[in-house]
Structure 1
C-alpha cells in the first residue's frame, strides 16, 4: 500500500487546523510535526507540538516548504514526514498553497490535496472571533499571501479537492467522501 500525505490548504480562517484535528480524532491520521526556530511557549513540547530547532539544526533538514515569520523559521521536512510514515500509512499537514504545490510536485498521487474555501465575510468573522486585533486582521486580509491562498493556484487546478467550508458537518462529510475515493482510513 502506498503511503499518503493529506495536504490541507487554503487561506487563514478556512478551517485547516479543524480538519487536521478531525482526521486525527476520527481516523487516527496524525499530523506531521513541523519545525520551528522559535522558543517553545508554556506547555509546548519538542516532538509533540513542533521540533524546536536552533538556526543551525533547522538548516540541516530537507524542507518541502519553509517560511520566515517574525524572525523565526517554520517548515515541514521530508525527515518528519518519513518518520510519521514509519508508523502510519497516512498523515496530514496544514500548509499554505505554495507548500501544497511543493507536496504535490514531490509526492504526486500520494499527496491528496484538500483546498478549503470560505467567503471573505465568514473568514473575517472567524479571525475576529479568534481574537485577532482589528489592525492586524486588516493587514492579514490585505496581504499578498492571504489573497493568494483564497483561490486554487493554477499548479493545483484539477489536481486537488475543493471544499467550501460554510458548515463544519457538511465539510466533514466531504472529507469522509475524499478518504473513501482515495482509499484512506
Structure 2
C-alpha cells in the first residue's frame, strides 16, 4: 500500500521548548523538517537548502503572487515563508514532514492542507513557562512579559489543534510525538484508497462468485 506522508504542524508558546524538542525528535527519527525560504542574508555557516532557501526579495514576492507559499510573513524587514512545492514533493514521496510555525500560520496551513496534523506544545503550567523564559537569561523582563501576554492570546487557539502535547520530560515527549504521528497513518480518513481497493477485491468472494 502506497503511503502518503503526513504534514505535521507544530506550534506552541515561546519558551515551551519547541526547538529543543524538534531537534531531539529529528535526531532520533526519520522525519523531514520543512525548509523555509527567506530574504535575509545567510549567517556564517548557513547553507542554501539546509537552514533556509535564501531568495532575493523579487523572487520571494513572485512566489507570493504565484501562490507558491503555504504561509509567509514579513519580520524585521525580511520575508519568511514555506514553499508549497517542497512540502508537496516530500509528502508525495511518502515522507512525513514537520513544519514548526506560529499559531496564525498553522491555522492557515490547515486551510490549504485539511489533512494536516496540528500539534500544540505547552509546558506543564504557566508558572513553568515563565520560569523557562526567565532562566534562558536572554531577554529583559519587559520582553518576557510581552511573550507571556502573547501566550495568553495564543491559548485561545489551542482547541483548534488536534493534540496538546505537554513538554515536561524531553525524552518522553519525543516518544509521544512519534507515536502520535505513527498512529495517525492508521486513521480511516487517511486510508480511503486502501478501503476502496479492499472492497473491490472482496467482490470476488461474494456468494455465488467463487
Local SS of the residue matching 1:75 = strand
Structure 2 residue 101 is matched with structure 1 residue 95 = yes
Bigger mean CA deviation after superposition, 84-93 or 170-179: 84-93
Query: Which has a greater percent of helix?
Result: 2
Please provide the CA RMSD for this pair.
2.2
Whole-angstrom distance in 1 between the partners of 2:134 and 2:73: 24
Correspondence for 1:183: 185
Correspondence for 2:204: none
Q: TM-score if structure 2 supplies the norm length?
A: 0.74
Superposed, 1:67-106 pairs within 5 Å as 67-85=73-91, 88-106=94-112
Q: Which runs of 5+ in 2 are unaligned?
A: 187-210
Structure 2 residue 9 is matched with structure 1 residue 7 = yes
Question: Structure 1's 141 and 72: CA in aligned 2 closer, same or farther, altered over 3 A?
Answer: farther
Structure 2 residue 116 is matched with structure 1 residue 114 = no
Q: TM-score if structure 1 supplies the norm length?
A: 0.83
Superposed, 1:24-173 pairs within 5 Å as 24-61=26-63, 62-85=68-91, 88-109=94-115, 111-118=116-123, 119-134=125-140, 135-143=142-150, 146-153=151-158, 156=160, 160-173=162-175
Q: Which runs of 5+ in 1 are unaligned?
A: none
Alignment size in residue pairs = 178
